[in-house]
Amino acid sequence: MDRDGNCTTEAIRSTLTSPFMMSNHCFILLVILVSFFATNLALQKLYGRNIFPNSTRILLCSAIANGVIHQLTVAEIRLRTIFRALAYGSDACAIQFHSSECIIEQNIYYYTNFFTSLCCISLYFDRLFSTNSKHFQQNYKFFVVLFLVFQSIIPIFLLHLVYYNVTYTGYVSMCNYPPPSIGSKFYIFNRFRFCVLGLFFILSFLTFILNRKQEKRMIHRVYDTISRYKSYENLLATKAVCIIIIVQIICLATTAIATEQIRMHTDIFPETIVDPLTGFMMGLTYSNFFLPIIICYQSNQISKRRRRNIGKMKNQKEGFLDHFTTLDFLWNRKKNFD
């Protein structure tokens, strides 16, 4: 007899203790472990080198901090699930978690999930406002505070919206699964969220194209090396941020869509492989894995291009100086003859 009259099926019980499911846990934990090493390197890049503008760097640090919290939460959920499977693997009535046992993990898990989506939006507006660089640089602290408040407070409102009047009944295989009572509402909300992220995916790409065209026009119209250097730096930062936004959106959207499709089409996917398959669909875990890697790679690329660009502008400036020195010499020589 189970605790509440609800035992899972024998197929699900054997699935949760299967080598496939255990290898799934080990894989996710390995991804998280590697992401921590990459995060350490990314923070060194952000603080040790003047690569990104101050506002962008602060927002990226907030994304990294949020990623660390999320990865720790996922690691705790996975370790707890492994312990549950080992301790209660033979008991079909105790192996799953009651929804009320997962309240803390779920709130942290989905708060950090929403935070990531809103951080992508903040990064987009940060790069968009940077096109008016003079005004934005003078007031960047105000905008950074505004962005941080936006991406920190709105997730609380979204959690309230999703979990409003929720009843923590039913059982889940892992604590990152939403309670069964809000399953349909959660999927509808996710669809809307990814439509918004898809819009910003397009806008980010268009912003990069706009900055690229602006930088190319400046080459032919502006001869001040400082202005041209700042424009080129802004273009490189925008490109790096666009790549980060696109990768984050791809990881989040593809795994969310795949998870929903697997759970909806139980006629195609047998009950015994649903949990192991959806266990691999950890979009934010993967995006938090790629985030520090992208930051490190883009930092190295920006450093190389910065040195190359400075060299070109230096040679160009020296060419201008030689040209004007020659003109001055010829002009003075002509005056002497006259």
CA-nearest of 263, 297, 61 to 178 is 263
Count of C-beta atoms within a 10 Å radius of residue 82: 17
Q: Does the global pTM surpass 0.85?
A: no
Residues 239-264: what's their mean pLDDT? Answer: 81
Q: Per residue in 97-106, pLDDT tens? A: 888 888 899 8
Please give the pLDDT value at position 45.
Answer: 86
Pairing of strands 171-172, 97-98: antiparallel
Does position 84 have pLDDT exceeding 80, yes or no?
Answer: yes
CA atoms within 13 A of residue 272's CA, in its CB half-sphere: 8
Please give the pLDDT value at position 115.
Answer: 94
Residues 125-144: what's their mean pLDDT? Answer: 80
The chain-wide mean pLDDT, for the chain, equals 80
CA-nearest of 37, 15, 79, 9 to 292 is 37
Please give the pLDDT value at position 26.
Answer: 93
Least confident stretch, 10-19, 231-240, 251-260, 320-329: 320-329
Please give the pLDDT value at position 6.
Answer: 57
CATH topology of domain 10-311: Rhopdopsin 7-helix transmembrane proteins (1.20.1070)
Q: Per residue in 140-169, pLDDT tens? A: 888 899 999 999 999 999 888 888 877 777
Please give the pLDDT value at position 336.
Answer: 46
Q: Per residue in 169-216, pLDDT tens? A: 778 888 888 887 776 777 778 778 888 888 888 888 888 888 777 766
Residues 86-94: what's their mean pLDDT? Answer: 81
243 — pLDDT class (breaks 50, 70, 90): confident
